[in-house]
Amino acid sequence: MKDFKQFLLRGNVVDLAVGVVMGAAFGTVVTALVKDFITPLIAAIAGKHDFSGIAFTMNGSIFPVGDFINALIAFVLVALAVFYFVVKPVNFLVSRAHQEPPADPTTTKCPECLSEVPIAAKRCAYCTQPLAASAK
């Protein structure tokens, strides 16, 4: 029983459970938004009073495509919201956290010809001018 309790209290399991619950709640909100706001808006443009009631009949079979369109719109909205409110901010934070500090310079410019020479060099490899200590 101790191992099972330890498994349940691990951070990953709790985080996953919270994510699933929040995702389900968010999905319900988006579904309601699609059903109560976006569907009537599209139905007003399409000329139908109830968007979910759009259907067609073929060989006596009824195909209720309005419900499918509602589900498709809800899916696209959830995917957009997750992408812009979760994925993009997390990627931004991760990229900022993993930025490496700039490396120490290994070259300097020759004061005569302005070519790149190693910091430890005593003469420029291009113009053979001696490099002063001030140029380093």
Q: What is the pLDDT of residues 29-85, one digit of tens each?
A: 877 877 788 777 777 777 765 567 788 899 999 888 888 887 887 788 778 877 887
Residue range 82-98: mean pLDDT, rounded: 82
Give the chain's mean pLDDT. 80
Residues in the chain: 136
- Domain 2-97: state its class: mainly alpha
- Whole-number Cα distances in Å, 35 to 26, 28, 32, 79, 85: 14, 10, 5, 17, 22
What lies within 8 Å, CB to CB, of 50 at 6+ separation is 43, 66
- Structure tokens, 99: 């930025």
- For residue 108, list its beta bridge partners: 117
* The predicted structure's pLDDT at residue 136: 44
Q: What does pTM read for this prediction?
A: 0.48
| Backbone torsions φ then ψ of 57, nearest 5 degrees | -115, 135
